[in-house]
Amino acid sequence: MMRSSGLLLMAVVVPGVLSAQNSIYGTRGIGFPGRAEGARSVALGGGAALFDAGSALNPALAAAFTEVSVGASSGTTFRGYTAVNVDVSGLQETRFPFAYLGGGVGRSQFSYQVSLATYTERTFRLTSADTVLVGGTMLGVSDTVLSDGGIVDVRGAVGWRTSPKLNLGAAFHVLAGSSRIAATRRFENDALQRFQDEDDLSFSGSGFSAGVLWSVRPAIRLAAAARINNSLTSRLGDGASQSITMPVSLAGGVAFTFSPAFRWMTTAQWRAWSRSDGDLVSTGSRAFDTWIVGSGIELGGQGGRFPLRVGVRYAQIPFSHNTEQPTEWNFSLGTGTPFASNRAAIDVAVERFQRDGASARERGWYVMVGITITPSR
């Protein structure tokens, strides 16, 4: 993944971390995993991920687009963390994690959805202090590693309304991205010149997913999705490339509509990230399989004004620097409303997250705002 150089040695240093723009848990592996979900699903703890057409986990949801619809989201994170007896607070960043375009295919029973989502985030700043032997004298040094970038998941999905009760879908995924890495070593002796190395780490890969949405009864819907990926190719600058085995993913969920104003949705996902463990161990990272379970309740008619959405989510984080797998809990709240004569809608989600494990802990808030526009409605 990285060539044997000062850049490699500094990029895998975690002890002594002083700051990070993104999650402290995004400094390992291929970064911190993103969520291909809109604001409504996030507010519901991810419980609606397999049932909400404004998300991209289930290709069968593409069948819901009978007319052109465009959606985009903005997410802002406020966080702080503790790692290696160092406390950091006041970190903030804003990203645009998810966008999509969907529509029908003529008068047929087929529809499409093209989406762009964050697959992993690799933006961070790591600083560590050490002593090294220079000319027979031990000197203090300060090492800084900057990474800016990530991997995006570009998905093209086709959905088929086989009957009023059954929707099927399939999608092709392209993974692409890069991370600009800069490593700097400064000596406490000002007479010694600092050392700096910069390079680009690029990623490329592909995958395929399929899904189903089945209305067992008017009040009960079941959904499932599966995804396989080809190996991810990483390349540092003009150096040799490395292949990283990517996970197989399975997801299932159930949605209950107790009344037009009361819905309960739950989604569970399993991802076999441990397949990449052997490819990442040389970078100082370990990889683990993950379970993600989210559940949420929506009070108020879907598409109505200001429904109340609450959710809870448990997730295992795939990458660590040791044998302890980090975990995450999310507690969310949100709402939304249509406007422009129901040709547009805005959804808002506020999430409290807490992450623990692998010699660190992280606490913060995530605010997501999504806008959907259907011009022809």
What are the boundaries of each domain within the chain? 6-373
**pLDDT exceeds 60 at position 19:** no
Report pLDDT for 240: 75
Min mean pLDDT across 1-15, 47-61, 326-340 is at: 1-15
Report pLDDT for 21: 62
Compare 199 and 42 and report the one with higher pLDDT: 42
Strands 232-236 and 195-217: antiparallel
**pLDDT exceeds 70 at position 16:** no
Would you state the structure tokens that stand for residue 27, as one six-digit string? 């400094």
φ/ψ of 26, rounded to 5, equals -95, 5
Q: What is the DSSP string of 191-223?
A: TSPPEEEEEEEEEEEEEEEEEEEEEEETTEEEE
Average pLDDT over residues 77-105: 91
Would you state the structure tokens that stand for residue 359, as one six-digit string? 């010699």
Report pLDDT for 286: 94
Report pLDDT for 372: 96
In contact, 178 and 142? CB cutoff 8 Å: no
Banded pLDDT at 6 (limits 50, 70, 90): very low
Instruction: Output DSSP code: residue 317.
Output: -
What are the pLDDT digits (tens) for 218-254?
999 999 999 999 999 998 877 778 899 999 999 999 9
Report pLDDT for 302: 66
Enumerate residues 6+ apart whose C-beta is below 8 A from 160: 63, 109, 110, 167, 168, 169
Q: What is the CA radius of gyration of the chain?
A: 22
Banded pLDDT at 14 (limits 50, 70, 90): very low
Among 298, 245, 336, residue whose Cα is nearest residue 29: 245
Would you state the structure tokens that stand for residue 244, as one six-digit string? 């990283």
Nearest-angstrom CA–CA distance, 276 and 232: 10
Report pLDDT for 7: 44
Q: What is the dihedral of CA 18, 22, 24, 29, to 10 degrees?
A: -120
What are the pLDDT digits (tens) for 76-90?
999 999 987 788 888
What are the pLDDT digits (tens) for 109-146?
999 999 999 999 988 887 777 787 777 778 888 888 88
CATH superfamily of 6-373: Outer membrane protein transport protein (OMPP1/FadL/TodX) (2.40.160.60)
Among 19, 152, 163, residue whose Cα is nearest residue 93: 19
What are the pLDDT digits (tens) for 306-319?
999 999 999 999 99
**pLDDT exceeds 60 at position 17:** no
Q: What type of residue sits at position 366?
A: Y
What are the pLDDT digits (tens) for 166-196?
999 999 999 999 988 888 888 887 777 777 7
**pLDDT exceeds 90 at position 47:** yes
Q: Which residue has the tokens 């540092």?
A: 236
Among 233, 213, 229, 38, residue whose Cα is nearest residue 116: 38
What are the pLDDT digits (tens) for 322-377?
999 999 999 999 999 999 988 999 999 999 999 999 989 999 999 999 999 998 76
Would you give the distance in Å from CA 328 to the centre of its chain? 13
Nearest-angstrom CA–CA distance, 315 and 329: 7
Strands 69-83 and 124-134: unpaired
Nearest-angstrom CA–CA distance, 294 and 315: 8
pTM, two decimal places: 0.89
**pLDDT exceeds 90 at position 165:** yes
**pLDDT exceeds 90 at position 3:** no
**pLDDT exceeds 50 at position 8:** no
What are the pLDDT digits (tens) for 292-307?
999 999 998 766 789 9
